[in-house]
Amino acid sequence: MTAGADTLPERHRLLTLRGHSVAWVPPLVLLLAIAVLDWNTTSEFRTLSWVVLVPGIAAAICGLRATLVIAVLAVLTFELEDRAWPYQFRTGVPDFILVVVGSALAVTACAVRVRGERRMLHMQNVVDTTRRAVLRPLPAGWGGLDHAAVYLAADSVARVGGDFYDIQPGPQGARVLIGDVQGKGLGAVAAASALLGTFREAAYHEPLLTTVAERLESRMRRHVRYAAEIGRSDQERFATAVLVGFSPHGSPWVEVINFGHEPPLVVAPDGVRSLPLGGGLPLGLGSLGDGLPPPLRMPLADDETLLLVTDGVSETRDGKGEFFPLRERVARALAEDPRVVEPGRLVRCVRDGTLRHCGGHLADDTTIFAVRRRPVRAR
């Protein structure tokens, strides 16, 4: 899901009716209106040459075939109606040449536009494939958890960035990871992919959550070193992240390790509370501190949801420059509707609130991720 500019399919959808394109209707109506107006005016005020505008409008909203048909209709309409006037009142050859040349230029411009749109759609398909490869789809109930997530790209064309999240079930229970790689572009995507690959292996095999954290820190360092060796400017690359371990066999305890990331919120039916910020450094910068951050062990009931977001939510500003009050908005929504505690409703609530707060113009990629244990009956 993206914010900002409309994507090509969304724009085209506005000009369809019951699955059929009606983009040809506005230029055709305009052509008829110009012809009728010209026929009902005096000889001193001829409007027939205005038909040169019609192919230009068609070129902006129609396909190549429809634009070509409308261009031909514009030329024929001009010629037939102009000949219907007495000879002394005709607009003449110069206006006819103007309409012909304008129609030809409109068809050419439409061909260029359609080719560019096709190329952009192809690029977006490639990006979507890349995004699905990095952020794999999570099955319902994956790892014994109810979950919901939404990713909003600040770049509506690229639609992929350095935010990442995943759930990995294993013998020691489900492990959850959310993070944000510093920077943008393919370098950030490559770092996110490297961290997710390490997480999926370590979270399954390693019995201790601290060992998973060590593997992530080591992977980030190795990725930065590799990028430097091949000449990429990733020497300062790091990633904030939150690593969560759900205990197996229905235990009410979870472990949380925070690598300089936004602290998670616990959304319960009776209110919202924040977890401690934690003093951990981001992944890749562990050597600058006193080692990896210790895990925080805390209770989490089955009816409580863990809300994890990237800084695209907390740093969203409105027109006055005020930050989005995440905890207050969630608490207000929860008071109005207790069902907001459900992961799907919670994610939609935060997404809609974030987009309303910034007016739909995101300054950074944004990920909203909510997880909780599945009810015993569902398990």
For residue 243, pLDDT beyond 70: yes
pLDDT value of residue 44 = 65
For residue 8, pLDDT beyond 60: no
Q: Give the total number of structural domains in the chain.
A: 2
Helix segments in 206-303, DSSP class H: 209-229
Give tens-digit pLDDT for 304-316. 999 999 888 888 8
For residue 54, pLDDT beyond 80: yes
Split at pLDDT 50, 70, 90, the class of 4 is very low
Of 8-22, 110-124, 166-180, 197-211, where does mean pLDDT reach its minimum? 8-22
Same domain, 351 and 332: yes
Of 124-133, 180-189, 261-270, 320-329, where does mean pLDDT reach its minimum? 124-133
For residue 19, pLDDT beyond 70: no
pLDDT value of residue 328 = 92
Where is mean pLDDT largest: 2-6, 81-85, 144-148, 186-190?
Answer: 144-148
Split at pLDDT 50, 70, 90, the class of 278 is low
- Domain assignment of residue 116, given as a range: 8-128
Percent of the chain residues topping a pLDDT of 90: 35
Mean pLDDT over 183-207 rounds to 88
pLDDT value of residue 270 = 87
Last residue of a domain, one of 66, 94, 128: 128
In our burial notation (b when 16+ CB lie closer than 10 A, e otherwise), range 22-49 reads ebbebbbebbeebbeebeeeeeeebbbb
Same domain, 164 and 114: no
For residue 358, pLDDT beyond 60: yes
Same domain, 160 and 292: yes
- CATH code: domain of residue 307: 3.60.40.10
For residue 378, pLDDT beyond 70: no
- Give the mean pLDDT of the chain: 84
DSSP 243-261: EEEEPSTT-SEEEEEEEBP
Asked whether residue 88 is assigned to any structural domain, the reply reads: yes
User: For residue 299, which amino acid is it?
Assistant: P
Asked whether residue 58 is assigned to any structural domain, the reply reads: yes
CB atoms within 10 A of CB 186: 12
Percent of the chain residues topping a pLDDT of 70: 87
Same domain, 122 and 213: no
pLDDT value of residue 235 = 61
Split at pLDDT 50, 70, 90, the class of 5 is very low
Mean pLDDT over 100-119 rounds to 91
Contact 24, 70 (CB under 8 A): yes
Last residue of a domain, one of 128, 148, 175: 128
Split at pLDDT 50, 70, 90, the class of 47 is confident
For residue 186, pLDDT beyond 50: yes
Same domain, 123 and 143: no
Same domain, 79 and 164: no
Same domain, 81 and 196: no
Same domain, 168 and 51: no
pLDDT value of residue 233 = 64
For residue 189, pLDDT beyond 70: yes
208 or 319, higher pLDDT:
208
Helix segments in 135-271, DSSP class H: 185-205, 209-229
User: For residue 112, which amino acid is it?
Assistant: V
Compute, in degrees rounded to 10, the torsion defined by CA atoms 22, 28, 29, 32: -160
Asked whether residue 133 is assigned to any structural domain, the reply reads: no
Asked whether residue 331 is assigned to any structural domain, the reply reads: yes
Of 28-37, 123-132, 291-300, where does mean pLDDT reach its minimum? 123-132
Last residue of a domain, one of 105, 128, 151: 128
CA angle 231, 237, 241 (to 5 degrees): 150
Same domain, 104 and 195: no
Mean pLDDT over 85-112 rounds to 84
Same domain, 235 and 349: yes
